[in-house]
Amino acid sequence: MQQFSTLETALLESVDAAPMLGQVKVWSAINTGTGNLAGLAQQAALLADAFAMLPGNLTLEAPAAINAVSAGGAEVPVEYGQHLVLRVRPDAQRRFLLTGHMDTVFPASDPFQSQTWLDEATLNGPGVADMKGGISVILAALQAFEASSAAAAIGYDVLINADEETGSLSSAPLIAKLACGKAAALTFEPSALPDGTLAGARAGSGNWSITVRGKSAHAGRNPDDGRNAIVAAAALALGLKALHRDGLSVNPARIDGGSANNVVPDLAVLRFNIRPREAASADEFLILLKALIVNVEAEHDVSVHLHGGISRPPKPIDARAEKLFGIVEECSALLGHPISRIASGGVCDGNNIAACGVPVVDTMGVRGGAIHSPDEFLIVPSLEERARLSALVLHRLATGAPL
């Protein structure tokens, strides 16, 4: 098996894991639910201070304007936090993209706000794995990489966005801009399994809100003069579920609306998600969705407005991505941590990056598990383990042939 070069040995020895756990604990103690703008601003300021030790230009970027459909059927603006961007050697011929997110799924009102040691190597806490541990890995890996001679000819951008957990809607244009022209990308979501298994191919994801407007009437005196929006929304939900099949998950998730029991409801909002494994499945779904809407409008004499779309395209593994996975898997094996990969129905910013034609491995973060739950945990030794892996991968990407 290939051994490490002298430069690689020095690189690995320069990875400083000492600050990593302390960083994660401080960052996890700050609530950064996607809607907690004050918490996100506090986190962004701490991250700006931490990443300032790297060269380059650091900025906090404004979120793109995004609207959502309220329970009352109106399109309303949604506020998001700022996104941190570090640009290093932008004129370099070969450049990479490293991404993470500072937001979590736990709002400020959630009771899960503190950390608990489960054993001497396992820390339970909000965001410790997903993905404040991953942010610490990015920082440690880049510090080590900057100390190597290979770094001078290489450029990279780092993006830590504030809205990944709700689909990266306000950071999607920024992701696309930063991904443009990159040789490869690494995203620091936690491993797919606690043993370090990577996520390979990913399904895509799309979210929609359907606003149904009918006509109100008295439920006792003249119910047939009304047009029941709730019933029409239910018909849409059943029709959507009938489109669910292998390779295309369709999940009607919620219906808002309704009225008093003695009133025929004239408004309903149906929300649903799809997970297509291939782009062709998404295209076919859109055709079937439009036909379903036409049928429900005609049958129930209601009007329907559709809001939303595919926010995460499916992420297949092409030839360049296969080479990148090969580098990551080889490096991990050389470091004594052989890893494999599995396909995933979950989505992340790796979907968006791959859609830009950039090869990406998007589970370079820590080993852990039970994410999005109060049982979320970080396997603490994996902080150093993944920092060393990421530094080595960056070095080989910098010194090897283009993918």
The SS3 assignment for 108 reads: coil
Q: Are 24 and 140 a contacting pair, CB within 8 Å?
A: no
| Alpha-carbon separation of residue 260 from 219, 226, 257 (angstroms) | 9, 14, 10
| Alpha-carbon separation of residue 252 from 54, 172, 233, 235, 249 (angstroms) | 45, 24, 10, 11, 10
pLDDT in tens, 79-113: 999 999 999 999 999 999 999 999 999 999 999 99
Q: What letter represents residue 161's amino acid?
A: N
Does residue 364 have a cis peptide bond before it, meaning omega lies within 30 degrees of 0? Answer: no
For residue 160, the tally of other CB atoms under 10 A from its CB is 28
Q: What was the pLDDT predicted at 3?
A: 84
pLDDT in tens, 195-207: 999 999 999 999 9
Order of strands, sheet of 368-369, starting from the edge strand that comes earlier in the sequence: 116-119, 122-124, 377-379, 368-369
The domain 205-312 is placed in CATH, from the list 1.10.3720.10, 3.40.50.970, 3.40.50.720, 3.30.70.360, at 3.30.70.360
The domain 6-71+78-203+315-399 is placed in CATH, from the list 3.40.50.1980, 3.30.310.10, 3.10.450.200, 3.40.630.10, at 3.40.630.10
Distance between CA atoms of residues 374 and 127, nearest Å: 10
Instruction: Dump strand ranges (E) for 102-151.
Output: 116-119, 122-124
Longest dimension (CA), the chain: 87
Q: Are 315 and 354 a contacting pair, CB within 8 Å?
A: yes
Residue 28: half-sphere exposure toward Cβ, Cα within 13 Å:
28
Report, as ranges of residue numbers, the positions in the chain whose pLDDT lies below 50.
Answer: 1
Do 6-71+78-203+315-399 and 205-312 show the same overall fold? no
Distance between CA atoms of residues 217 and 300, nearest Å: 15
Distance between CA atoms of residues 134 and 367, nearest Å: 9
Q: What was the pLDDT predicted at 2?
A: 55
The SS3 assignment for 235 reads: helix
Per-domain boundaries in the chain: 6-71+78-203+315-399, 205-312
DSSP at 153: G
Query: Whole-angstrom distance between the N-terminal and C-terminal Cα of the chain?
Result: 22
Q: What was the pLDDT predicted at 230?
A: 98
**Helix pair angle (382-399, 319-334), 10° resolution:** 130
Q: Are 279 and 247 a contacting pair, CB within 8 Å?
A: no
Closest residue by Cα to residue 199 from 398, 383, 349:
349
